[in-house]
Structure 1
Amino acid sequence: MCGIAGMVSVRGPDPELVRRMCDVIAHRGPDGEGFHSDGRAALGMRRLAIIDVATGDQPVYSEDGRVVAVFNGEIYNFRELRRELVRRGHRLRTKGDSECLVHLYEEYGADMVRHLRGMFAFALWDRDRERLILARDRVGKKPLYWRSDGHSIWFGSELKSLEQDPGMRREVDPVALHHYLTYQYVPAPWSIYEGVRKLPPGHVLVWERGQVTFRRYWRLDRTPRQVADEREEEERLRELLLEATRIRMVSERPIGAFLSGGIDSSAVVAAMAMQSGEQIKTFCIGFEDGRYDERHKARMVADRYATDHHEFVVTSDLLDLLPRLAWQFDEPFADSSAIPSFYVAQLSRRHVTVALTGDGGDECFGGYQRYALMNQAHRIPGMPRALAAVSARVGTLLSERSDYGSARRRLGRLMRFAAEPPSLRYAGLMSRCTPGQKSEIYSDALRDRLAETDSHRLIEEIFLSSPAQTDLGRVLDVDTATYLPGDLLVKVDITTMANSLEARSPFLDHHLMEWAAGLPDALKVRKGQTKLLLKRAVAPWLPGELLHYPKKGFGVPLAAWLRGELRELAYDTLTDGTARGRGLFRPTVVRDLLQRHIDGADHGDRLWSLLQLELWHRAHAAPGRSTVTEAGCRVPERPV
């Protein structure tokens, strides 16, 4: 596990810049560093040593030195790959996974990615062809940012690496900002900065003498297969999960697991315990507020498998943590579960270097209640076009002009949901801020700049282009392309790597995902019950009581915090001269939101999004005025 960064240029790279790009992400790799430099390319990395600790340094080279690579992640089938490469005549100097990349490239070119089973982001430089290949794993476990000006290309595991280049213009992309306020994260391929992009999951980028091309190499096939015996499917699921867990337990450093008490993380802990000769270390986060505390569920699993169990209670004493998170995340990120995620990573790192997680179980097997809602929504009778238009318009007005949690808002959302087509229904379910709410808060300049931009189109286009045959399959495609890599996996990657901890996710094994994608809808969601087959499959592994608890997620008492201990921080940060001077939002509307929330209405999500955006500005931009321009929202540059 590492952090990577680099620069390739027809005009010659800047090796010292690449060193700075690596230094700023030292938290991703505190165990070592490595660099390569020639007349066109400078590549660097920071290493967190987990496999082949003794000889696994990077960069790695082909026998003749023509091909060089830096790599972030883990290749779980590296032993099979090494055997095949040796059989084909390659000479490998190390015992780990990284060196496989350069030899696979010699055999398969850019198609090498199809042979990799794991999580990865890598850069590979072919010196003779003057070709750079950037690739990202199928699901998006490992991040990769890049930018190019036609002569040069820069890349890095984190955006802060690219920020080290004083030549990079730090102008906020208004479209990315618009999407962020809708979804609480900046979705790929955008980044918060104009001119900087994320490589989407399952894609390869090729830069050759200044020209950039892309290719998507993986997509789930959701064509349902015939199921003759559901019990056989349960047994096959257990086999796949055991194997996906087993190959992720390979490590020369201490290993453990996050244990939330949910079915997914509990199943992973069970699969670990059944295949390990040692006591499993488990880690859990709780809250003083009982509505959000699920430690009792985690203890049930920990007791069953006699794990070495550790807990930490999150409080609202976050004044020091929030600025740190804003710096670590590089982009505004408003999923408040980043807070407990950071703490469980910090707790785990005191004991282990690798932690397995339950991420991906919901997206594979239909675990969210919104899936059940969408699965049943097709039964809503169609409305005449005129009536549907009126219902949608009235519903929008009611929901946008009512406080969160109010009966008027629920009625408005229901009216809009019933009137809209499935693609827009799901876009609405995934939105934390509606178009009208954004327009209300935007300054005149920002509103004019974004008048033709519709964030809902992002989800609508993926939904409509999905080859899945049902609405449930289409929303699973949407989440696999957006929410999973843009929110959940970003949260886990940043919070774990900030603590020099590697996270591995058995449910995101692409073999398991491809098998799960072919399951009929009725084995995922049936009669309002979610994750049907998974619950049946792991029932023999888990306490029976655990299977019947309602899903809570990893929520925090955000609304209460913003009325209590974080009230002063939120008010001061969002209303002072620095925030007002950016020219992004209407100060009177921001103050009104704050006051209405203090008075009892729940505007926690919207206020948290605004707070995280402003904290990001202060962590990544020098003090000064940020104003909306025709090109974008200008962020002053901070000296390197």
Structure 2
Amino acid sequence: MGGIFGTIGDLDAGVVAAMGRRLQHRGHRVQSFEVSSQVTLGEWLSHKATGRLTLGHWAMVADGDIYNALELQKMLADRGIAPIGDRPEILILQGFLEFGDEIFNRVNGDFALALWDDDRRLLRLVRDPVGMRPLYYWHQNGIFAFASEYKALLAIPQLPVVADRAAVQTLQYTKYPPTNRTLIENIVAVPPGHCLEYERGKIRSDRYWDLTVEARETEGDRAAEVRDIFLQAVRRQTADLDRQVGVTLSGGVDSASVAAAIRKVRPDLHLHAFTCGYGESDPEILTAAIVAEAIGCDRHPIYVTPHDIPPLLPQIVWHLEDPIARSETVQKFVTAGKAAEYVDVVLAGYASDGLYGGMPKHKLVKLMEWLPPLKTPLTEFYSYTQTSRPPQTLLGKALHWAYYRGADAPAPAIEGVQVAPPVESIPPLQPELLNTVLKSGVVNGVGKWLPKAERLHIAHGVTVRSPFLDRDLIDNAFEIPERYKIYRWREKHIFREAVKPLLPPAVLNRPKFPQAMKYDRVFSDVLEEICTEFLTPERVRSRGFFSVSEIENLRRRPKSGLYSSERSMRLWTAILTELWAQLFIDGRGEKPE
């Protein structure tokens, strides 16, 4: 765990201290220091970390976990350079001074860094390849500031807090703001896999990491190769743990594989499995019990009902900042809180689908390859599921109707904004089209939703890791021909074959179900109750985001009394948008009571 922040420019020391206080959930102790005239760096540290990261005229603050520290040490030793101090992050600073930006490409880990060069008065901000660790910045009128969470930036009085209405509209369409933007004007995320430089008022950003699709055949056992690389990734991510570890165990093959792999490579660790569901009959709970019994671990079932939602929403939105997620956030937040009672680190199965083709949308891409004349309507339907952009062709509209049967609802418009739903384009038909689409998702898409996982865990002082973000594993995934990923309509075929020796058959062949609350009458009742607090006509009119008539139409319950899952989530995003505005526009990021 950790968090970083810093400023360049004429700011009162009390402002910098206030920035740090807003990140105190990210560490156990804080240190900040003036590295030059009107330049301050700060970081929240874990209980194990000691010392500052300084070397000559360079200083660095870091939030991160490095999983290949021994490899980096060997690189430096080959140049006659010995590690300095006890913090592994110093290896990045030493490596940077020796190898330049290439060192960032060599780090296997999750990190966000700030490096200050006092000779040039130049600041570098660097973020890990896929964006597990967040990092934001703002600059105006000679002031530059950065922080792991933008609530810290809102402690700066000179920063005008204005909603980016176009970004708010995109959120309604897609569940996310535009790439690397936030819902606040001029607060920007450092893109994953990028190094950003700020020097005397000028900003330059360069990508240091990219993926290449290099599908290759192999004479060996492809599944065994994937399994070995996966086990090695789990071994790396647990190497620094000496007593216990947690795993967020759902009913799916990804988290179950992570749990089984931990037990195989680190049998000495006390393993805690945390599973959240709506009750004892939830398939997530039932399947997780099978896995826990098979591998031998402490099982912690957690039950969340719709009645638990209202009091938790302000805390969840404050930690998330941009309200990018839906009802599953409540389950994840409560699960992370339970995990914090037992462990400091949990492993999860995040990002596996994007490597091995595990989502329904990936099957649409395969259909495009198999049925080229239908590529246009299939692309339109694909785009609608991701961005709410309505199909234009007759066949596209037919696919939309066949799937939703009128149960969906249009995203509410943000008043005064002319922003159409973005197009989720699919490249032209080509060899390895699915791998090309998967690559785009890893490079440009994962960083949009990973903050959801990271924030909901760090809120409770828990670090979350995923072996599917391991650099070697990602590289290997894009050496696998796509026909091994979706094979005979079975998604993630190669990964399922790889972990077959690790898992019970009942888990291995279980269909994929997204984690979510149960959309029953109770959920609809609670959702309506929340609407009466946050989406009344008076409040909607006062905020000025939505049309009162559109929100009232969205709130109208059908004769069955049940909101469809699609309508529920449109309402959910609108509710959280209003709550976000209260916390971050009206309250400038102050923590709710």
Question: TM (normalized to structure 1)?
Answer: 0.84
- Corresponding residue to 1:245 among 225, 230, 234: 234
How far apart are residue 24 of structure 1 and its match? 0.5
Higher mean C-alpha displacement, 580-589 vs 157-166: 580-589
Paired residues for 1:553-632 under 5 Å = 553-558=514-519, 560-596=521-557, 599-602=561-564, 603-622=567-586
Higher mean C-alpha displacement, 608-617 vs 98-107: 98-107
Residue equivalent to 2:111:
120
- Corresponding residue to 2:433 among 471, 479, 492: 471
Higher mean C-alpha displacement, 205-214 vs 467-476: 467-476
8 A contact 2:155–2:589 mirrored in 1: no
* CA distance 1:311–1:383, shift in 2 (3 Å): closer
* CA distance 1:278–1:639, shift in 2 (3 Å): closer
SS of residue matched to 1:71: strand
Cα distance per residue 1:333-369 (max 9 Å; x no partner): 2322111111111111100001111111111111112
The residue type paired with residue 327 of structure 2 is S
Residue equivalent to 1:307:
297
* CA distance 1:43–1:163, shift in 2 (3 Å): same
Matching of residue 328 in structure 1 with residue 308 in structure 2: no
Residue equivalent to 2:202:
211
Q: Compute the RMSD of aligned alpha carbons.
A: 3.3
Residue equivalent to 1:77:
68
Residue equivalent to 1:35:
33
The whole-number CA distance in structure 1 between the counterparts of 2:37 and 2:226 is: 51
SS of residue matched to 1:272: helix
The residue type paired with residue 506 of structure 1 is P
Residue equivalent to 1:19:
17
8 A contact 1:13–1:41 mirrored in 2: no
Identity of aligned residues (%): 27
- Corresponding residue to 1:508 among 466, 469, 491: 469
Q: Which runs of 5+ in 1 are unaligned?
A: 402-408, 421-427, 624-635
Q: Which runs of 5+ in 2 are unaligned?
A: none
8 A contact 1:203–1:216 mirrored in 2: yes
* CA distance 1:569–1:81, shift in 2 (3 Å): same
The residue type paired with residue 157 of structure 2 is P
SS of residue matched to 2:218: coil
- Corresponding residue to 1:442 among 403, 406, 413: 413
The whole-number CA distance in structure 2 between the counterparts of 1:384 and 1:336 is: 32
The whole-number CA distance in structure 2 between the counterparts of 1:639 and 1:298 is: 35
The whole-number CA distance in structure 2 between the counterparts of 1:494 and 1:581 is: 30
The whole-number CA distance in structure 2 between the counterparts of 1:419 and 1:293 is: 29
How far apart are residue 142 of structure 1 and its match? 0.6
How far apart are residue 620 of structure 1 and its match? 1.7
Matching of residue 517 in structure 1 with residue 478 in structure 2: yes
Residue equivalent to 2:168:
177
Residue equivalent to 1:456:
422
The whole-number CA distance in structure 1 between the counterparts of 2:375 and 2:200 is: 56
Report how many aligned residue pairs link the two structures: 580
Residue equivalent to 1:226:
217
Question: TM (normalized to structure 2)?
Answer: 0.90
SS of residue matched to 1:138: coil
How far apart are residue 223 of structure 1 and its match? 2.8
8 A contact 2:353–2:492 mirrored in 1: yes
The whole-number CA distance in structure 2 between the counterparts of 1:374 and 1:559 is: 32
The whole-number CA distance in structure 2 between the counterparts of 1:236 and 1:412 is: 44
8 A contact 1:147–1:196 mirrored in 2: yes
The residue type paired with residue 522 of structure 1 is R
The whole-number CA distance in structure 2 between the counterparts of 1:119 and 1:493 is: 11
- Corresponding residue to 1:57 among 30, 50, 57: 50
How far apart are residue 180 of structure 1 and its match? 0.7
Cα distance per residue 1:475-520 (max 9 Å; x no partner): 3133224542212x11111100000100111111011011111211
SS of residue matched to 1:581: helix
Residue equivalent to 1:139:
130
Higher mean C-alpha displacement, 292-301 vs 478-487: 478-487
How far apart are residue 307 of structure 1 and its match? 0.6
The whole-number CA distance in structure 1 between the counterparts of 2:563 and 2:67 is: 49
* CA distance 1:522–1:637, shift in 2 (3 Å): closer
